[in-house]
Amino acid sequence: MTKSKILNKEQIQQKLNRMAWQIYEANYQESEITLAGIKGNGFVIAERLTKIISEISEIKIHLTEIKINKREPLHSPIELSLDDVNYADQVVVLVDDVLNSGKTMIYGVKHFLDIPVKKIYTTALIDRKHHRFPIRTDYSGLVLSTSIKDHVAVELGANEGAYLE
């Protein structure tokens, strides 16, 4: 299988910087917001966005990891590393690396609908636009047109990049 690099390390950082500024600009009047990263790369991206937003603003950011069974989200409970009280009446930004069908993201949003939050935003580094659920990204680094057979992989760390396989 061939692997084509669609984003390198510097491009990923540029996308994250832009997304952080967009999140800040939409929430500059808030004193606190919550970034909830989907376990794995979504949480790593949420950590990086938290760092950038903290450098450019005074907004206090609560960072939480959201654990979802991506294949069968109804068969196990969704778990967060923060208690509900930490994000009640706040803006919540749900973060993942790639938005494909929207299944994982919509179940993540569903969890937050049980708590009185001000707003829920969704963000993904790459939005593939193959949505099967009524979900979209409010902030995305790259909107990518691919065939349904293609696979997009994001590697963070030593061999950082986004690849089309």
Q: Tens of pLDDT along 70-112?
A: 778 777 788 888 776 677 889 999 999 999 888 899 988 988 8
Q: What is the pLDDT of residue 85?
A: 66
CATH code for position 107: 3.40.50.2020
> DSSP secondary-structure letter at 69?
-
Q: What is the pLDDT of residue 97?
A: 95
Which is it for strands 161-164 and 152-155: parallel, antiparallel or unpaired? antiparallel
Q: Do the Cβ atoms of 62 and 90 come closer than 8 Å?
A: yes
pLDDT in tens, 22-35: 999 999 999 999 99
Instruction: Tell me which residue range forms the domain holding 102.
Output: 4-164
Region 16-21: mean pLDDT is 98
* Confidence class for position 1, pLDDT limits 50, 70, 90: low
Domain count within the chain: 1
